Amino acid sequence: MNKILILLSAIVLVSCGRTGIQTTTNKTNTGVVDTYNPRDFYNKKEVVIPMRDGIKLHTTIYSPKDTSKKYPILISRTPYSSRPYGSNEYKALISPNRKMMKEGNIVVYQDVRGRWNSEGVYDNMRAYIPNKKDGEVDEASDTYDTIEWLINNVENHNGNVGIWGISYPGFYATYSLLDAHPALKAVSPQAPIGDFFFDDFHHNGAYLLSYWRATAVFGYMKDQPTTEEWYSFPELGTEDQYQFFLDAGPLSNLDKYYKEDNVFWQQLKEHPNYDEFWQERGIIQHLENIKPAVMTVGGWFDAEDLYGPLNTYGHIERNSSNYNTLVMGPWSHGDWSKETKRQAIGNVYFGDDISKFYQENIETRFFNHFLKGEGKTTNLPEAYVYDTGTKEWKTFDTWPPQNTSKETYSLQRNERLGQIATREYSFQEFISDPKKPVPYSEDIKMVFTPRKFMTDDQRFAARRPDVLIFETEPLETPLTFAGDITAKLNVSTTGTDADWIVKVIDVYPPDHKDYEETQAYLKMGNYHQMVRSEVMRGRFRNDFSKPEPFVPEEVTQVNIQLQDVFHTFKKGHKIQVQVQSTMFPYIDINPQTYVENIFQAKPQDFQKQTHRVYNTSLIEFTVLKP
């Protein structure tokens, strides 16, 4: 989710609106510039909609000027502002995509409770209340009340309502499925947050330091409606993210940037474990007996919200009988909403017009069927997924596909990754030094959230002594991974705490050609493309709610569930697994000395330790049968 980049994009659009620029331009495949001015085709109206507790939410309604037919209502609820504000200021893009904008829908944007121009108190990932008593509200009730008001006060609608949203707005889209209004027919959560302990700010209990700057967006409260920013980002004085956080030292030293008035920073520090505070804010567990049609969308290379879309789809599929489909493409956070000709993540090119294909042939078809009644069926499969190795769309009746099997590889001696484990008991070890953590990227830059690194070249890491590598021989036949990956590590440490990070890598042949996007200092020959990575904060190896230290030098099992992939390792490529304990500053540094709360760790707690990975460790892949 790059929530911040989405926010910044919104700011750019607002700036265009303030200068009177309401047209959008798009160069077609024929080279013709398509100019479209939403002002010519839509009327804009700003209203406040009262909720059941009297709080009023700022809402913007764009209605087609052509009233010769009725239209469905499409809603996006956002904490990032429904700007531009003012009846004469228009968004450059109305609707989820350009095609839908031109076809015409009644499109509604709303500032959620406590954000921007809406009243009320904001609660980050507000907990769902299943059985509300008088006076109790949540985002489900706010969505219900909004739909009820719209269908009774907006003219020329056809009675059908749809909701979509990307990132945090995707969370609100998911929320609309709970206690859904009868008029709500189709919902598309896109890169939705599912749980802040596994999306965005944490991965398996490890704090994602790279999102620290985003704390400004979510942590500062306001006491009245506003159309201007009420928060600001810390001035760090450098573009070297790695060095800034290394110099900063323990997380407690960051308090000088966020004081007690930043509510979210205080919450992060006070709740380092998966306690009731985080548990009640998760939405995945509530997705049962869902009625509206759902199309969940995500990107295979989304550094922010990969847990959310996969688990949103999966939980609905297991616990509901509604229409439920999944779309996963070769995108980073929110790329599918863009109009990029060449789709690439960092150095790796995946194809042309991939987002355009999705917008016109998947997204539009889904909404038009359920909201406009087009077609007897959607003609969409259960799963529309992109193979990031062969670089082509595939369709399946289930996800993961039925025709898969589990194949187990062992982490063997001499840096080998193979299906036959040696019987000889051995291990590989490395020294993990908190003062010299492994970078997550070679790039020197300050980013709100990483994107490019999800396909980055991992040769720099493979050549470090504190990263273990295990690799197959070049493949004689292609091999497709289609589903989850589980690393079953047997490890030990001289310390009492440690993070364990596993990366799955596609090693290209030496003669692979460069792409247009390949950085000047790189070559794609022997490129080590990261396909998937995940961390487990070792203290949570048995229970995310009950951390426990390691016993020094005692062999201990640590299982790491990596998110799904759909990737074919081509003939001549190699499969590589890397194991390490730091990935900085994407992930904060574990002191490697057990403390109750890492947010309160002292400099002396951070100690150099020796970690061992034993050859009894296994990694289990979900493999698609030929």
Determine contact, residues 517/564, Cβ cutoff 8 Å: no
Domain boundaries, the chain: 38-128+137-195+281-396, 404-624
Specify the pLDDT at position 208: 95
DSSP for 432-496 reads: E-TTSPPBS-S-----SS--GGGG-B-HHHHTSTTSEEEEPPPPSS-EEEEEEEEEEEEEEESSS
Which residue, 461, 432, 479, is CA-closest to 574? 479
Specify the pLDDT at position 447: 84
CATH of domain 38-128+137-195+281-396: 3.40.50.1820
- Using 50, 70 and 90 to split pLDDT, how confident is the model at 510? very high
- Cα–Cα distance, 24 to 20 (Å, whole number): 12
Per-residue pLDDT at 255 exceeds 70: yes
Per-residue pLDDT at 29 exceeds 90: no
- Using 50, 70 and 90 to split pLDDT, how confident is the model at 472? very high
What proportion of the chain, given as a percentage, has pLDDT over 70?
94
Which residue, 264, 252, 278, 273, is CA-closest to 599? 252
- Cα–Cα distance, 602 to 607 (Å, whole number): 11
Per-residue pLDDT at 31 exceeds 60: no
The packing angle between helices 307-319 and 168-175, to 10°, is: 10
Specify the pLDDT at position 30: 47
- Using 50, 70 and 90 to split pLDDT, how confident is the model at 19? very low
- Cα–Cα distance, 462 to 450 (Å, whole number): 20
- Using 50, 70 and 90 to split pLDDT, how confident is the model at 5? very low
Strand residue runs (E) in 375-447: 383-387, 392-396, 404-411, 417-418, 427-432
Specify the pLDDT at position 32: 56
Per-residue pLDDT at 21 exceeds 80: no
- Using 50, 70 and 90 to split pLDDT, how confident is the model at 4? very low
The amino acid sitting at 285 is: Q
pLDDT digits (tens, 9 = 90+) for 535-582: 999 999 999 999 999 999 999 999 999 999 999 999 999 999 999 999
Q: Across the chain, what does the average pLDDT equal?
A: 94
What pTM does this model have? 0.94
* Residue keyed to tokens 């080590």: 528
- Using 50, 70 and 90 to split pLDDT, how confident is the model at 448? confident
In this structure, which CATH number among 3.90.700.10, 2.40.30.10, 3.90.1150.10, 2.60.120.260 belongs to the domain 404-624? Answer: 2.60.120.260
Instruction: Calculate mean pLDDT across residues 124-136.
Output: 94
SS (H, E, C) 525-577: CCCEEEEEEEEEEHHHCCCCCCCCCCCCCCCEEEEEEEEEEEEEECCCCEEEE
- Cα–Cα distance, 169 to 53 (Å, whole number): 22
Per-residue pLDDT at 34 exceeds 80: no
Instruction: Calculate mean pLDDT across residues 190-202.
Output: 94
Instruction: Calculate mean pLDDT across residues 421-439.
Output: 89
Burial-class residue 457 by CB neighbours within 10 Å (0-12, 13-18, 19+): buried
For residues 23 and 230, which has the higher predicted lDDT (pLDDT)?
230
Specify the pLDDT at position 419: 86
Instruction: Calculate mean pLDDT across residues 115-132.
Output: 96
Per-residue pLDDT at 11 exceeds 70: no
24-27 and 556-569 strand pairing: unpaired
- Using 50, 70 and 90 to split pLDDT, how confident is the model at 28? low
Specify the pLDDT at position 450: 83
Per-residue pLDDT at 437 exceeds 80: yes
Per-residue pLDDT at 23 exceeds 60: no
The amino acid sitting at 133 is: K
Specify the pLDDT at position 52: 97
Instruction: Calculate mean pLDDT across residues 247-270.
Output: 96
Measure the CA dihedral 575/559/396/419, to 10°: 40
Three-state secondary structure call for residue 587: coil
Specify the pLDDT at position 425: 78
CB atoms within 10 A of CB 551: 11
- Using 50, 70 and 90 to split pLDDT, how confident is the model at 145? very high
HSE, CB side, 13 Å, CA atoms: give it for residue 27: 5
Specify the pLDDT at position 599: 98
- Using 50, 70 and 90 to split pLDDT, how confident is the model at 12? very low
